[in-house]
Amino acid sequence: MPMMDLTLPQGILSAEQRAALTDDLTTALLRAERAPDTDLFRSITWVFVHELPGEDVITAGRPVDKPIVRLEVTTPEGALSDRRRAEMVASATQLIRDAVGIADEDALNVWVLHREIAEGSWGAGGQVIQFQQLRKMAAAEQAEPASA
């Protein structure tokens, strides 16, 4: 049940570019988690896009002159090892840079922050979701094509 919050200046992506980027970020996160890329797991991987007016994205006390982008990735505790988190940071950074057109020399204009939600602290549908439940769901999803 990962979530991502993508914050960027308004108007730097077309609707089509935004749709492609959020789809690609979903794929990258599922890959990093080693979760199955199925309709079920895509449906519980949410991306919230926050487009801010240019004057509301500030650095050094002034509106930015080059796009800066922040991606906050929230996962259940234990979903990503340090290696997988690094994989996600690298993938997400490149996907964002490609979509927005951020050059190599401005790569630091993309920040990826990762937050883990402690076991027992994630609720959905009126109940607490345990990470082991998600692991069992993933195992069942991955076994399904083999048994079909």
Q: What is the DSSP string of 74-99?
A: EEETTSS-HHHHHHHHHHHHHHHHHH
Q: Which residues of 67-92 are buried (b: 16+ CB within 10 A; e: fewer)?
A: bbbbbbbbbbeebbeeebbebbbebb
Residue 99 burial (CB count, 10 A): 20
Ranked by mean pLDDT, the top range of 107-111, 120-124, 129-133, 134-138 is: 107-111
CA gap 51, 54 in Å, rounded? 9
pLDDT at 146: 52
Q: How far is CA 26 from the centre of its chain?
A: 6
- pLDDT beyond 90 at 110: yes
pLDDT above 80: residue 134: no
Q: What is the CATH code for 3-147? A: 3.30.429.10
Task: Identify the band that residue 138 occupies on the pLDDT scale cut at 50, 70 and 90.
Answer: low
Domain boundaries, the chain: 3-147
| pLDDT, tens digit (0-9, with 9 covering 90-100), for 10-58 | 999 999 999 999 999 999 999 999 988 999 889 989 999 999 998 898 8
Distance CA 53, CA 49 (A): 13
Q: Give the residue with greater pLDDT, 35 vs 145.
A: 35
pTM attached to this predicted model: 0.85
Residue 145, pLDDT above cutoff 90: no
